[in-house]
Structure 1
């Protein structure tokens, strides 16, 4: 489904999508929910918006690059050679690789635009 139209703007802050609870196995603390909207898909990539409400959750990542639009969070990585924790705030750009194990500590609802292959 393509929601991005060439030559037209899309407001990433007001896209309609319901929040859904996370799988309880992924929740470390709080009652975080997430939502996402895929905006544009081709055979080579997907562009979308994702949000995570306050709380702490774990995930296993896909390949993606994202830009934080709003919120306040810390992203930590698990593993022997894990990168240092990242502070996520508006304007921060992050590259994730498939299989990275992460913990998202969200203090203020995090909204990001992502691009994944």
Structure 2
């Protein structure tokens, strides 16, 4: 799916996402996989669904707002150092470009994002 049709309805937690192993240099524990699909894209923003299977990995973020729709974990901020966020359905998080994070996922985490 590269674009969601106007008037269409999807259940974000039920979508089948392609997935790939997280780059070994980013893995801190387990064998996490990530996957995503883009639902809509313009020159200024992308809307999509992303998931991370159980495990711990690091990332450098882009400007994004997301809502967790399934799963659980903890998002830690290493740069800038900020309090960790407990991730569970309904939690909304804003990330800014360049933030360094650690995703500690206990139950496959799925989010809808706007980047």
TM-score by length of structure 1 reads 0.92
Displacement after TM superposition at 1:16 (Å)? 3.0
Who is 1:11 aligned against?
A: 11
More strand by share: 2
Aligned residues: 115
Measure the CA separation in 1 of the matches of 2:75 and 2:11. Answer: 25
Asked if 2 retains the 8 angstrom alpha-carbon contact of 1:4 and 1:39, the reply is yes
Measure the CA separation in 1 of the matches of 2:95 and 2:10. Answer: 25
Structure 1 unaligned blocks of 5 or more: none
Displacement after TM superposition at 1:10 (Å)? 1.9
| CA-atom RMSD in angstroms | 1.3
Q: Tell whether 2:83 aligns with 1:111.
A: no
Displacement over 3 Å in runs of 4+: none
Instruction: Tell me the SS of whatever aligns to 1:25.
Output: helix
TM-score by length of structure 2 reads 0.94
Structure 2 unaligned blocks of 5 or more: none
Measure the CA separation in 2 of the matches of 1:2 and 1:34. Answer: 17
Instruction: Tell me the SS of whatever aligns to 1:84.
Output: strand
